[in-house]
Amino acid sequence: MVLPAAAQNKAPVPKKTRLLFLLDASGSMMAKWENSQRWAVAKTMLVRMADSLDTYANLEIALRVYGHQSPVTQKNCKDSKLEVPFAAHNAGNIKKRLQQITPKGNTPITYSLQQSANDFPVDPNARNVIIIITDGLESCGGDPCATSLALQKKRVFLKPFIIGLGDDPGYAQQFGCMGQYYNASDIKTFQQVLDNVVSIALKKTTVSVDLTDDAGRSVESNVNMTFLNNVTGQPEYNFVHYRDLAGKPDVLEIDALLSYDLEVNTIPAVTLPNLNIVPGKHNVFKVKVPQGYLYLRQDAPTSYGSVTALVREKGSPYILQTQRFPSQQKYLAGTYDVELLTLPRIRQTVTVKQGQATQVTFAPPGSLSITQDLQGYGSLYVLRPDGTQEWIWNLPEGSSKISLPLQPGRYRVVFRMRTAKGSQFTDVKDFTIRSNLTTTIKLFN
């Protein structure tokens, strides 16, 4: 079925962004900062930011505050409250509530993160973002890093932003593992960082993936590729690569608030870990994926039916791909071990080259016919040129009467009837199989 053009190019539904400001109101926020107080500066900046966000479509903001309900002497490690729930055009409510808050208590960052999971409405089409503004480290013995990672894995929120006020050397160590950490050592830097963080959260970010051959030429395309969330391991975007008529890869919009590994699903796959995505910009990633073809040729039907080949990377015990005859399949340029499920199996090493087809085929089988209907125990062996034998198949115990396709070559059958009273009554016969011919043998004859 051919989809109409409108369906083929349907734009995704715009996602709503929910932005939670998680604000430190512990006692230390009353400390002097240049010509003001940390709390006064944070409050002023946050109000100004909320005002600027009121004009954005598909955006809701909220405010959670911690350390403001109990004095520090009470060591209240559950002092955290959603002061302003999510709503659009929420700047007035946030401004009003901030004027009523006075910093006084502890710094329960871990507990506040845990509680923030309940602040976001359940909405699969929303981007949940947290901006933490703090001047102190966790003071209640919690593990904010583990908590942040667990909530990201549950997809409660995206990778948080943490803005540390002041110049504490412990900030980077504790906050860096929670998410994207920024050091605001002075008021001017704090303003710049807050503006930058909000811009990152809301600006469009695009990427192009340039798939190249071994020489770096932009020629590969039409390959599935996946942007994997490298925190959760889950796929965030699946695309089939496209180039326009001028040979340029297309531009894709992605969410810059996630951390990605790019997996190009060639055979075998190629992974580009930890993409360095610059938010709010266009990013280009080059991935070297030279490909050629493995052509399994079968000129005519055979008594095998459909033959399958097992393809492994050279030296690897793991099956990379199963491919049936006749067919043609793309692989990365390289060397592979190919095992044909004929009888006996055919094993060979082949090299796939960029832009070329490497052919694999097999001789038409002949047939082994045993006409007697005997019950017993028997095996077939292929005879190698050096005189050694290799087991390939066991005869059915219920009846030796078979018609079996075999590759051309020298073979041996070893058989003892069930009724025979000793190993010395084993029959051994050598025979030859030729393509498209039947070889008939009689046991004990």
pLDDT digits 0-9 by tens, 321-370: 999 999 999 999 999 999 999 999 999 999 999 999 999 999 999 999 99
Per residue in 424-444, pLDDT (tens digit) is 999 999 999 999 999 999 998
How many helices (H) and strands (E) the chain has is answered by 7, 29
Helices assigned H by DSSP within 106-244? 109-116, 144-153, 170-175, 187-202
Cα-based angle 112, 115, 117 (whole degrees, multiple of 5): 120
Residue-wise pLDDT for 109-138, tens only, equals 999 999 999 999 998 888 899 999 998 888
pLDDT tens for 368-383 read: 999 999 999 999 999 9
Domain 366-441 has CATH 3.30.360.10: no
Q: Would the pLDDT of 8 be above 70?
A: no
pLDDT of residue 12: 57
Listed residue (74, 76, 99, 80) closest to 24, CA to CA = 80
Residue with tokens 């004027």: 99
Q: Higher-confidence residue: 224 or 139?
A: 224
What beta strand segments (E) does 320-395 contain?
321-324, 327-332, 334-340, 346-352, 357-360, 366-370, 376-383, 389-394
Mean pLDDT across the stretch 290-301? 93
pLDDT of residue 236: 93
- E strands in 92-135: 126-134
Give me the pLDDT at residue 369, please. 97
> Is the predicted pLDDT of residue 5 greater than 70, yes or no?
no
Question: Residue 213: its pLDDT value, please?
Answer: 94
pLDDT at 445: 84
Sign of the four-CA dihedral 382, 384, 385, 388: negative
* Maximal C-alpha separation, the chain: 111
Which pLDDT does position 209 carry in this prediction? 97
pLDDT at 10: 53
Tokens representing 102?
Answer: 């006075």
Please tell me which residue, 233 or 271, carries the higher pLDDT value: 271
What is the C-alpha R_g of the chain? 35
Task: State what percent of residues in the chain have pLDDT above 70.
Answer: 96
List the CATH code of the domain at 205-289. Answer: 2.60.40.1120
Q: How far apart are CA 122 and CA 134, in angstroms?
A: 27
Tokens describing residue 270: 């190629």
Q: Which fold has domain 292-360?
A: Immunoglobulin-like (2.60.40)
Domain boundaries for CATH 3.40.50.410 within the chain = 14-202
Q: Which residues of the chain form CATH 2.60.40.180?
A: 366-441
pLDDT value at 7 more than 50: no
Helix (H, G, I), strand (E, B) or coil at 137: coil
Q: How far apart are CA 205 and CA 333, in angstroms?
A: 33
Comparing 10-14, 206-210, 232-236, 264-268, which segment has the lowest mean pLDDT? 10-14
Sheet holding 357-360, edge to edge: 327-332, 291-296, 357-360
pLDDT score of 6: 46
Render pLDDT for 14-32 as a digit per residue (tens, 0 to 9): 688 999 999 999 998 998 9
- CATH 2.60.40.1120 in the chain: give the residue spans: 205-289
The topology under which CATH files domain 14-202 is Rossmann fold (3.40.50)
User: What is the token pair recorded at 88?
Assistant: 């659009």
Mean pLDDT in residue range 386-391? 95
Residue keyed to tokens 């016919």 = 369
Q: pLDDT digits over 151-202, tens only?
A: 988 888 888 989 888 767 777 777 888 888 888 888 898 889 888 888 888 8
